Amino acid sequence: MRITVIGCGYLGAVHAACMAKLGHQVVGIDVDHRKISALSEAKAPFFEPGLESLLREVQETGRLTFTTDMSAAAGNEVHFICVGTPQKKGENGADLSYVDASVEELLPYLSPGDFVVGKSTVPVGTAERLSNAVQAQEPAAHLVWNPEFLREGHAVADTLQPDRFVYGVSDGSEEHPAVAALDEVYAIPLSTGTPRLVTDHPTAELVKTAANSFLATKISFINAMAELCEAAGADVTRLADAIGMDDRIGRKFLNAGIGFGGGCLPKDIRAFMARAGELGADQALTFLREVDAINMRRRSRVVELARELCGGTLLGQRITVLGAAFKPESDDVRDSPALSIAAQLQLQGAVVTVTDPKALENAAKRFPELHYEGDVDAAISGSDALLLLTEWREYVELDPLTLIGSVGTARVLDGRNVLDAAKWRSAGWAYRGMGRP
């Protein structure tokens, strides 16, 4: 099929490459010239495992091109909207200006029988509004909501083999022409048994925000248990293992630590609360305020623990922060708990060095006042305390026996509960975890 992908960020760049991999003829469109020229040379403008080799592979077939010119959408049958919906400045709601602008610019190029397919995460009600705009311009075109569930760090695999597809169509019926069109777009993953659900517009929009809210709630639940475990002298990692064995609960997303961050979960739960308020259903989501509060408390808790670990004061303590990205296998530092903790430690008088295998460039743009060191050995040398805040494999595999010779004082705070506490203690380290004795 002939496909347009509007927005070439984390979602769109991966989506465009994957659609070409599935055999379609794809053009990726973005207003950012630098992004487009990088992508045109098969360079990913951000770190995502497997993306660059996929870009090279599909560009060699001639099936994928990039441009800043919206008229390249003319003549295509399916137009995906993949632009960002960040949190509005000073408000909880989502900023829809990029979604609105991209649909507005696309309208003149629509032809009868075209499909505009929304993938961005939007407040419920957006699809209906955009659908009216599409039909006012081209009555024989259709708008579908087809939310995306990919995780950064696993984006290529999540796009090529997702858990499920959700198609939100105006009448919610299997007979809607968009269902057959999307079935053709996703023919390969559907042929391997990927389930797909057809819903109406509002249900499809809500599926995405409900899924992210559930994930955020699961993480804050286990972090609340971590607070209790600390008070009671229990171990939250063993608690999570034990409750996770009940398959109604499941062990995934039950890792207590410094909490969630990134460009999705934090802003999505806030936008969801804001939208519920507009719909007069705010009571239904007041629990998400608590989910957010528990999550933000984790960041202050780490600072307190670091102070305790350093003997009661952070003043002048040389602290090495291992990890700046909001999670491993990503260079994304949007709302990264690791960076926010590093900044708080520095404000309280610690001498902080931050290291990360991929995210230092982005981190330095957000927090230029912090000190960064790309070489992990140099970052650790002479340190008074190590704080593991993003669980990159190279940090999880650090050898406590080797390291002890290069630090000033052997103290480690495991913000993700991923280190073997017994091994670090027996090597002579003062070890603290999150919600562990």
Kindly list the residues in this chain that would bind ligand UGA in the complex (CB under 6 A): 121, 148-152, 212, 215, 219, 253-255, 257, 259-262, 264-265, 326-327
Rounded CA-CA distance 298/341 in Å is 9
Residue 407 or 418: the one with the smaller Cβ distance to ligand UGA is 418
Rounded CA-CA distance 54/149 in Å is 20
CB of 45 to ligand UGA, least distance (A): 17
CB of 340 to ligand UGA, least distance (A): 11
Residue 87 or 255: the one with the smaller Cβ distance to ligand UGA is 255
Residue 58 or 150: the one with the smaller Cβ distance to ligand UGA is 150
Residue 42 or 259: the one with the smaller Cβ distance to ligand UGA is 259
Q: Which residues contact 320 (CB under 8 A, 6 or more apart)?
A: 352, 353, 354, 355, 379, 380, 383, 385, 386, 387
Q: Which residues contact 100 (CB under 8 A, 6 or more apart)?
A: 130
264 carries an active-site annotation: yes
- Going 166 to 263 to 127 to 160, the CA torsion angle's sign is negative
Residue 331 or 384: the one with the smaller Cβ distance to ligand UGA is 331
- Helix 201-232 × helix 286-309 angle, to 10°: 40
* Pair type for strands 411-414 and 2-6: unpaired
Positions of E strands within 101-195:
115-118, 142-145, 165-168
DSSP per residue over 297-351, as a string?
A: HHHHHHHHHHHHHTTT--TT-EEEEE--SSSTT----TT-HHHHHHHHHHHTT-E
CB of 327 to ligand UGA, least distance (A): 4
Other Cβ atoms within 10 Å of 154 Cβ, number: 14
Rounded CA-CA distance 356/250 in Å is 30
The number of residues in the chain equals 437
Question: Of 355, 268, 323, which Cα lies nearest the Cα of 93?
Answer: 268
Helices (H), 27-173: 33-40, 51-60, 97-106, 126-137, 155-160
Residue 337 or 400: the one with the smaller Cβ distance to ligand UGA is 337
From the candidates 18, 82, 229, 264, which is the catalytic residue? 264
Q: Give φ, ψ of 303 to 5 degrees.
A: -65, -45
What is the identity of the amino acid at 191? S
For 383, the 3-state DSSP assignment is: coil
Residue 271 or 314: the one with the smaller Cβ distance to ligand UGA is 271
Instruction: Write out the catalytic residue numbers.
Output: 264
